[in-house]
Structure 1
Amino acid sequence: MRTGEPLPAVGDVLALLATGLWRYDAAAGLVTLDAEAARLVGLPAEPTTLTEAGIRARFHPVDWNEVDGIVQLALAEGTIAEVRMRIMDEHGRVVRTVRSRSKPSHDPGTAKYELVGTLQEVTEPSPGAAARSPVTGDWRRSREAFLLDAGRALAEARSTQEVLRVAAGLSMPGFSPDGLAVFGAEGDRLTVVGHYGQKPGDEGPFAQMSLDTDYPAAEVVRTGRAVYLSSPEQYKARYPVSWPLAAHFGRQSWAFLPLTVAGRTMGAWMAAFKYPVAFTPDERSVLTTVARMLAQALSRAGAAETERELTDGLQRSMLPTLGPRIPGMGVAARYIPTGGGLQVGGDWYDMIQLPGGRFALTIGDVQGHDVRAAGLMGQLRIALRAYACEGHRPDAVLTRASRFLHGMTYGDDGAELRFATCLYVEVDPATGTLEIARAGHPDPAIRMADGTVLMRTTAGGLPLGIDPDADYPTTRLVLEPGETMLMCTDGLIETGGHDLDTGWRRIRRTLEEHDGDMEELADALVQAVHGPSSHHATGPLTDRREDDIAVVLLGRVAEGSGSDALATGAGPVVRRTMLTVAQAEPERVSGARQQLRELLHDWSSEEQVDSAVLLVSEMLTNVLVHTDTDALLVAEVSGDHQDRPDSTGGRRLRVEVTDASDDLPHRRHPGELASSGRGLVLTELLADAWGVDPRGEGKSTWFELYEEPTKEHEEHEGHEGHEENAEHKENAEA
């Protein structure tokens, strides 16, 4: 060419360089080839237009499958799409290998794109490069296996730190970074979420960096497009301002990729290498895929951590402290949420200060384990506290709370009905008197001073919220010194496949076997069901719970004790239970029989236990049938257990049934067909002592049983007597 002559046409130049030109219109699905491009794909050397299926038939199917991924990567990054492909003849033989380089352009109004590129014949790769060439299947299979493993590991990560550890441990096929960093964005600032391969504190200059800074990660967050830097010279030329910050790390190549979720760039991922990396299309494809998986994993982990933070906040706001210490009383409580969802349910407990030195304990369970249940629980707890502080009695507090919850949850069609169980206890610390009202909640249990556990039957009504006019009768109990009362929700009883009966037996064993203070007992109860929990039990647990658990323990300090430690039965104690049976509640006679059996759980003679239960049933029934008053049952076990090594005698059971009638019972002589009149006859036959004592108003009928010695105890006493006689004989002979 002479100086001043016009340049040749582009097509002529490409033809001289044995380079073909082609164009692909994705909307029409057509590929246009010039003469050289047609020759290279095995067609006559003349311009032609083929369908997508027609051009696909000219290439090796494995190579064709690579094209779409490389083009999509180039579209996402706005870079050149480069691919090496094998040309096949009509017999399926490879005739040549070509390299295509194209620039995709995307129409913002549609999802279609257009490609304009070149086609050039190249030589086959050398054997040493075969392992990493996209023409062979080895590198591809290695890459696919790596991406499957990486995707599985990232999907299982449950927190941001776990995601970062997984990303740091990824070994990419053929190239692996030695330094990683994950950047986030808060407002107009770049933040460092985490890093690996650098020393602690190295992230300082990059934290809180403005997004307008001349730094690759900031540019990626701003634009949403990846940045590849293959050499320090390239880094320094493109980002001269921030190069001094990166220079001292001694890296040779860098890749900064956007972390995009649902079309929004949430941050950037940096992969840095100590050796030069060319960032071929295959390497970029791997990095881009990992970045997408990493973004999804970080998004999931961030949502989970936000959820856990919300859970902690809800728990802290909804679970009150137990307040100041009560003289002569000790209180301990635990709340264990379920492991699913927000880990906040409808269980709650509360301690309410009342006038005159009294206080109230309440525990309950709103139906459901969702956010609505948690919200209703918070409102109901506040309502109960307000009604209690107004000075209402326990029955009035629950009646008003039921009307409140019914109005909150009952819609026009009744579809939003929610109910709640509740146990409300008003406590007088000076006397240990408990006024209990119950709304469909499990009964409390009493651990006596010697470790005996009684399930205390209390009067009750419907769960709150079902009937706005429901009535809640009260039950009065006295917590004796050294005794502890357990209140809990059904999660403590029924978790693990247990029903109410087997669940109570499990709780009874824990209560009977534990000798520590109340805080230790509260932990032991939870551990017996679910394993260890935190001391305050206000944080989320990692294992999954079947139901929420709320536990409250109220203990009356034993006389002469300066702490809330549980009594261990070290000395003689009196075991006592009281129960009122009203005329309108004959079904409570069954509860009285059960309480007496529990009181005599370690009595040596089963026949005496059966006799005591029969006599109690007769005495209570006589009051209900022959008087119009209520019956008060008081059962008391005193003395030492004969199995104790320091025992000086047997134990005594004394049972009194008091009523307000002045009519004294008389012994009758019933005939064979008579249906009554045998009560006193049985008492005289079965009791060791009995009597009827008139009172100022009413009377008291009582009986006593003296524990029969066990066989082992008799043998022990006989052995001691034999030794004593032998000793007397030796002294006489001397």
Structure 2
Amino acid sequence: MEDAAQAGPGPPAPWPVGPDTSLALNRMGSFDWDLDSGLLHMDEPALRVYDMPPEEYDGNPMVLAVRMPAEDRTSLDNRVTEALKGGASTYGFYFRVVHRDGTSRWAHTQGHIHRDPGGRPRRVIGIIRDATEELEQAAERLAWERERDRQTGVVEGTAAALAHAITVQDVTAVLSDPDGLGRLGAASLVLGIIEGGRVRVLAEGTPGSNVPDLEWTRVEDDYPISEVIRTMAPIYMTSAGEFEHRYPELWPYIRPLDVTSAAYLPLVAQARPIGALGLLYRHKDAFTPEERNLLLALSSGIAQSLQRAMLFDQEHDLAKDLQTAMLPRSLPQVPGVVVAARYRAASASRDIGGDWYDAVPLPGGRVGVMVGDVQGHDTPAAAVMGQLRIALRAYAAEGHSPATVMARASVFLCELDTDRFATCVYADVDTTTGAVRLVRAGHLAPMLRRADGQCHPLCGPVGLPLGLSAQFGELEYPVTTMELAPGETLLLCSDGLVERPGSDLDEGVEALARAVYEGPRELEKLADRLTEVMCVQTGGEDDVALLLLTREEGASPEPTRFLHQYVAPADPQALISARHQIREAVTAWGLPERTDEVELVVDELVTNALRHTDGGALLSLRLMADPRPRLRIEVQDRSSALPRRREPDYESTSGRGMLLVDRLADVWGVDARGTGKCVWSEFVVGRGSEK
């Protein structure tokens, strides 16, 4: 215990040590301030705090005050005055003392105020001590706490920013953003990922620092990113000379960035490298152990976000490719109209959607166009979409009316034994006359762009969605008819093009109408523009299917001429009457040069239908002016058996009918029509046959 008391120089202190010795050994002194006389007694340890020799101090407090900065002297005086007048019994204060050599040290005083029975302060007794080391330790602790908070903020800020990153592009945007560089404390960065066994640089953090030659490198190359990927160990370089010495081939690209140090960190996820992150610094020449630990923690979080984003991109691309594969590879070229279509998958979802579009050439110079949406965003929805689109296409190609096409498709979807329903809009467009028949199954109304650019919805009756109408026995779909004039455009789309979060659907439709009005006239450019503008407004949270059909300028306004005649079975007179009507119609239409050929072909086709089927035949004759004048003959029956052209010998008494049709008509063919078929042939008119 005696040894414990000998903490300083001089003779051994007695045990127990007195208070004066205890205060002196702890660099503390005491004072006694008589408020009535104004004298301030300071013992020798107290004067030592002020660097004041005892012989120079006469008890006047002003002698000590000159050793304090003015602002500290004023603050101390205010604190003491406040304590004396406020009735306090103690006070404490930290202040600075300037020693004789000009150095400044911190001191702390603690005073106890003695008052008389009336509460008047009479004396202040207290201590004064050197607090420099205490405050330095506190400052170091505060600096350490601030640095710890900063590091925590860096990790939390980066993690929060990456939490909203969905795609690889989002991750690179977070890291290369100036705010991201500020969080990381770097002047520039480079991010590379492994793709197909090579390293692809995705982001470089300063404008103009992109190096096309280094966009793709090999893992075996002598570059820092390649090295940390190979070794899965970080690389720290603390000088420009070290950087130049280790990577001389890369240094010419780094020199203009004025880099003084760099840290290259492997991005490892599930024990395998997926890339590397390089951070380049200016005015930095060392990495403390805490900084290295922080960078490794950041690289781990970045690797997890990057791997998640890469998986999202892969699944999104797979879903998009699958969806695209289920859509038409190309749109048909139909004379008299121009068709353009676009599909865009939801940008914020990896799931495949059920939106689709299609265009189907129809008999008689018509075209059927449709846009639909199967409920849900998953693989089953896409599978249902693929089957339903094919069914709709088949029903339309058979020549059914739009209402029948919808009704059959609804029954088909119901019989798939799925819990999905679908909305659809289908339009049957006569490219010659511009006549349009529209049917909606719970779908968004189509829109019409006039020749002057004005656009508005085509409101009309709407039926139940496909699947539901069959389930509830409501298969009667109302038909809306209109005329599409030359230069006008029909717009069909799914609701993903107009639905905006937090907004009314009508607002989205109005925005689409404005975009159409302000968009380009050329159809392909308009399709690109609409998907670009509207998907930005809607946020791209849903799939989008868009189809545009424009009736070409210069399409003949002259109406198509028709002739329809039903020929009953076992009625020779009906066939004779049909031949006479055909001859009269062809002559009246100004085509006498091909009257005999047309009459022979009609006779053969109708006779075949009556002879080889159980029912009658529906004969149609149509004069079509676009894209070239031609006469089209159609004979429909209820048999699915297809006619064949044979080469009979000279003794045969039959089999020459289709041979005759083939020789006389310019072109002929067979289309399925429901449970039956349609045999058709065409004659080019106005300039002779073109066989």
TM-score range, shorter-chain basis?
A: 0.3 to 0.5
Q: TM-score, normalised by structure 2?
A: 0.48
TM-score by length of structure 1 reads: 0.45
